[in-house]
Chains A and B, each alone.
Chain A
């Protein structure tokens, strides 16, 4: 692993340790009250979920057109992180919704599209695990479809009738809330980079095992 990895991991761990204190001292929201504070983890997780879907899609495109196995390894790693951050987003969201909307779930555009995106990422992993020969290219097609879903998830709140808060809430945040949010976004972005690097390393090691098996047989 590169030199910067352990230093970045320590910084990330310290940020995660500090974040509960920062969030606990943040102001409550006027209409939502204390449950608003779920936002500080929910929103960065959602951004990492969408970012990971894009990374997976781009890596899959490059793998399909260039055939370089390094892109495939990146795509597999990104798909797994899409599932991880997707599950965080899809669980913290209903916990917010229960208090603010009075219901655990609602089939509005953004939430439904997010669920579909998460299921696509799951499908990618299932195809890779059980698809047999050629599953890498098949799964790449799925990943491209998942990436195409991302703009719908993001703009849905601005163009369709939906109960989910609009994208305008972030630039309009007061300073007291805004700096805490960007702290959490930085923290989650650093976490994503670290986990992606680690997961790609696992794929690289697995490729090495395959090469060693071939060398042993020959």
Chain B
């Protein structure tokens, strides 16, 4: 019984171990001469999402920053005019 169990599981165990092992670390990037069309398609949504996300986040931050600067500038204008009114009085 033990021998039968081992005979059935022996090809499974190495397959499981290799599936759990992480891929090799890459030490360099090399250009591809050409890729089949099939290889290109799955990466496109990820690539477009990445660039769209970066542009969106940067625009949102610049917009937020300009709004905050505008709010502070109007506070400064209001306070300066109040101080001027106070000194005149």
Contact = CB atoms under 8 A, between A and B. Distances in A.
Interface of A: 16, 20, 27-39, 41-42, 45, 84, 87-88, 91-92, 95-96, 98-102, 106, 108, 157, 161-166, 168-169, 172-174, 176-177, 191, 195, 198-199, 201-202, 205-206, 208-209, 212-213, 215-216
A179 B78 CA distance: 50
A30 B32 contact: yes
Contacts of A95: 46-47, 49-50, 53
Contact of A191 (B44, B58, B80): B58
Interface of B: 22-23, 25-32, 35, 39-40, 42-44, 46-47, 49-51, 53-55, 57-58, 61-62, 65, 68-69, 72-73, 75-76, 79-80, 82-83, 86
14 contacts: A27-B32, A30-B29, A34-B35, A41-B51, A87-B57, A92-B53, A92-B54, A100-B23, A169-B26, A172-B28, A195-B62, A195-B65, A198-B69, A202-B72
A108 to B, nearest CB: 8
Contacts of A100: 23
Given A202-B69, A208-B76, A36 B29 contact: yes
Contacts of B72: 202, 205-206, 209
B79 A212 contact: yes
A142 B47 CA distance: 34
B76 A20 contact: no
Nearest to A173: B29
A30 B31 contact: yes
A158 B57 CA distance: 31
Nearest to B79: A212
Contact of B29 (A32, A88, A195): A32
Contacts of B30: 29-31, 174
